[in-house]
Chains A and B, each alone.
Chain A
Amino acid sequence: MSLRSAGVPATGDSAGRAVDQRQAPRKRKNFLGRQPLGLLFSAPYVIFVLAVLAYPLGYAVYISFHQFYFTAPGVQVDRPFVGLDNYISVLSDPEVQRSFANIGVFLIINVPLTVGLSLVLANALNRVTRLKTFFRVSYYVPYVTASVAVVGVWLFLFQQNGLVNSILGPLAPNPSWLTNSWLAMPTVALYVTWKQLGFFILLYLAALQNIPDELYESASVDGGNKWVQFWNITVPGVRSASVLVTLLATITGANLFTEPYLLTGGGGPDGASTSPVFLMYQKGILQGNPDVAAALGVVLVIGVLLIALIQKRLVGGKED
């Protein structure tokens, strides 16, 4: 810590000259910057990103334009360029169309619910002083828990003679939630909303800290009630957070795999809850058509980007 105490006088003018003197003999190295070692420090991360993330990104696009087979390591096979064939077979596949429609249903339920509930709960959390930690932790618990674990208890709760149906009594849907082709996808959407909400509450909580208290004070002086304050101060005040929450909720929805795989037993009933990523797994890895699956991935990402752009227009409002 002696170095640290030396730091105090170093802020003065003398230190400035000392730095310059050290720099003078290093002029030759300036091409790489004042601390070229930074390159070495960054190297592992840069190599990781290029090799494990950037390269596969390009590879995915390459695979989607070729007839691609899985091979054993080191085996060379001919993988001819097939243009848009994989894309045509993806887009004309009724199963794929169904999965995109399912994701549409998912997003229509999940995104507004997520944005609305997380903002309302974050706003409430921001106002109370008692038990605040308890509430925040309890909202966060589903988010930090493995979906595989929580799926277990949801299966238990929502089965034919589960607790939810025994509370509902005669109102219970038949066939039950997860085996009902109308209710399977909405139930999955509800599950994901519940699971992810804590994370979005935290995002909103951070955003709420940026709204100055004075705004609320002057609003209450002017006679604005809580409702007026919420719509005219809170909602516009967290708009950029809302854009982010919408975007992230959409990306989560597009990534849906574990839930249709486990909660509805592989996208059931009868494909009513299949998701594009589930089909990527099924077509690419189980059925050995990685080219089609890669094309499906590209289509999915383009779709998400388009939806994100539209959402940004809608939610972002005049701010942009």
Chain B
Amino acid sequence: MSIFNKAPLRNDDDGARRPRASAPEGAASEAPTPGSVPSRKGSSVAKRKNLGVGSFVLLALGAFVFLFPFYYMFIGSLQTSPDTSVGGAFPSPANITGENYSNINNSIDLLKGLANSGIFTGGVIFFTVVFGLLVGYALAQMQFRGKGFVFGMMLLVQMIPFQLLLIPLYVMIVRDYGLSDSYLGMILPFAINSTAVFVFRQYFMQLPSTLFEAARIDGASELRILWQIAIPLVRPAIVTAILLTFIGPWNEFLWPFLVTKDQAMEPLAVSLANYISNIAATASNPFGAILAGACVLAAPAVALFIFFQRQFISTNIGSSVKG
């Protein structure tokens, strides 16, 4: 239900015009891997360098504005007493402690929260990858009745605003099915990410259909074709889909907040939010504890994204099919 849902709608146009534009976020299309720079058109590089200085300053300023709060989050999480002066933005050895982390861990069980977030997110990723690959493959490489309906539905679904579903889903899942305080209740509304389905379909579309026809002639079952031929060829799509599916449930607050009443079931985002709104006021160093919790919540997402960033750029479906 994140805003991310709508991105590839636009990239469909991109893909149609430029068959090699494979990474749905435009990540690969402007891949700045060291090796790729010299291969650019010489004139264009020279021209760009002339224009680069002003842009560079602007970008550096932007990067500071975007990154500083994260740096400050980390510094703040280590301060014995909050120092909000300008000097406080720099680490001072006298004012460093790990106490905030143990304080927040005493109020909300960080490990339990992380585990709940992990199960919630992992469940969504699991359903998305398993069922998304199936439907994505079917939409791209199989001819069957109702295909147009499924495809149209996939596009339309991404337009459904979550706020409209909020009340009926709450009535159904929490009240009618009694799924409050359960992982299934958290996962259900997000179970299959339509954006990921779209990504899978786009990647499968780029594989030559002759490949699959040949396999069918050789008598391979569709499931075997999918498992042994199609999936190995679209591994980068799986990484992409996992990354963009991850962002949704890991960061989701409203829905798990409504579903969980039991503190032991809360994902970390929910327990930290409850700490901020209810408990923080009574703590001795509330900001230190909040920021420590924030670091724990933010770290996996940031680390995952930075770690897979390189792979996200350099893997290009075009080369993996040709190679």
Interface residues of A (CB under 8 A from B): 3-4, 6-7, 10-11, 15, 18-19, 22, 31-39, 41-42, 44-46, 48-49, 52-57, 59-60, 63, 68, 70-73, 120-121, 123-157, 159, 161-163, 166-167, 194, 196-199, 202-203, 205-207, 209-210, 213, 216-217, 220, 226, 240-241, 244, 247-248, 251-252, 254-255, 257-258, 261-262, 265-266, 276-277, 280-281, 284-285, 290, 293-294, 297-298, 300-301, 304
Given contacts A209-B30, A240-B13, 9 further A-B contacts (CB under 8 A): A53-B189, A124-B54, A156-B73, A163-B86, A166-B85, A206-B26, A280-B167, A300-B161, A300-B164
What are 22 A-B interface contacts by the 8 Å CB criterion? A3-B218, A7-B215, A10-B213, A37-B144, A41-B222, A127-B52, A132-B32, A138-B63, A142-B70, A145-B70, A146-B301, A152-B73, A156-B72, A205-B26, A206-B25, A209-B18, A251-B3, A251-B161, A252-B3, A254-B161, A290-B171, A293-B166
In the complex where A3-B220, A10-B210, A45-B135 touch, is A261 in contact with B175 (Cβ < 8 A)?
Answer: no
The chain B residue sitting closest to A45, CB to CB, is B135
Interface residues of B (CB under 8 A from A): 3-4, 6-7, 9-11, 13-14, 17-18, 21, 25-27, 29-30, 32, 37, 41, 43-45, 47-49, 51-52, 54-56, 58-60, 62-63, 65-67, 69-70, 72-73, 76, 82, 84-86, 88-89, 131-132, 134-135, 137-139, 142-147, 150, 153-154, 157, 160-172, 175-178, 188-189, 191-192, 194, 197, 208, 210-211, 213-218, 220, 222, 225, 228-229, 247, 250-251, 253-254, 258, 269-270, 272-273, 276-277, 287, 290-291, 293-295, 297-298, 301-302, 305-306, 309, 313
When distances are taken between beta carbons in the complex, the residues of chain A under 8 Å from B4 are 199
Complex contact A163–B163 (CB within 8 A): no
The chain B residue sitting closest to A276, CB to CB, is B163
Complex contact B66–A33 (CB within 8 A): no
Complex contact A244–B301 (CB within 8 A): no
The chain B residue sitting closest to A125, CB to CB, is B59
How many angstroms from the CA of A134 to the CA of B67 in the assembled complex?
11
Complex contact A36–B144 (CB within 8 A): yes
Q: How far is the CB of A173 from chain B (nearest CB, A)?
A: 16
How many angstroms from the CA of A54 to the CA of B194 in the assembled complex?
13
Q: How far is the CB of B136 from chain A (nearest CB, A)?
A: 9
How many angstroms from the CA of A302 to the CA of B191 in the assembled complex?
26
Complex contact B145–A139 (CB within 8 A): no
Q: How far is the CB of A85 from chain B (nearest CB, A)?
A: 16
When distances are taken between beta carbons in the complex, the residues of chain B under 8 Å from A240 are 10, 13
How many angstroms from the CA of A162 to the CA of B89 in the assembled complex?
11
When distances are taken between beta carbons in the complex, the residues of chain A under 8 Å from B222 are 35, 37-38, 41
When distances are taken between beta carbons in the complex, the residues of chain B under 8 Å from A72 are 175
How many angstroms from the CA of A46 to the CA of B152 in the assembled complex?
11
With beta carbons under 8 angstroms apart, the residue of A19, A127, A133, A146 that contacts B55 is A127
Complex contact A213–B251 (CB within 8 A): no
How many angstroms from the CA of A137 to the CA of B7 in the assembled complex?
18
With beta carbons under 8 angstroms apart, the residue of B59, B172, B214, B306 that contacts A3 is B214
In the complex where A15-B214, A155-B287, A206-B10 touch, is A120 in contact with B58 (Cβ < 8 A)?
Answer: yes
Q: How far is the CB of B229 from chain A (nearest CB, A)?
A: 6
The chain A residue sitting closest to B41, CB to CB, is A213
When distances are taken between beta carbons in the complex, the residues of chain B under 8 Å from A209 are 14, 18, 21, 26, 29-30
When distances are taken between beta carbons in the complex, the residues of chain A under 8 Å from B153 are 46, 49
Q: How far is the CB of B42 from chain A (nearest CB, A)?
A: 12
How many angstroms from the CA of A280 to the CA of B48 in the assembled complex?
50
The chain B residue sitting closest to A18, CB to CB, is B217
Complex contact B166–A297 (CB within 8 A): yes
Q: Which of B9, B25, B293 has the most CB of A within 10 A?
A: B25
Complex contact A6–B82 (CB within 8 A): no
When distances are taken between beta carbons in the complex, the residues of chain A under 8 Å from B291 are 152-153, 156
How many angstroms from the CA of A170 to the CA of B284 in the assembled complex?
28
In the complex where A154-B69, A166-B84, A301-B161 touch, is A210 in contact with B18 (Cβ < 8 A)?
Answer: yes
Complex contact B277–A265 (CB within 8 A): yes
With beta carbons under 8 angstroms apart, the residue of A19, A42, A196 that contacts B138 is A42
How many angstroms from the CA of A252 to the CA of B14 in the assembled complex?
23
In the complex where A206-B25, A210-B18 touch, is A129 in contact with B163 (Cβ < 8 A)?
Answer: no
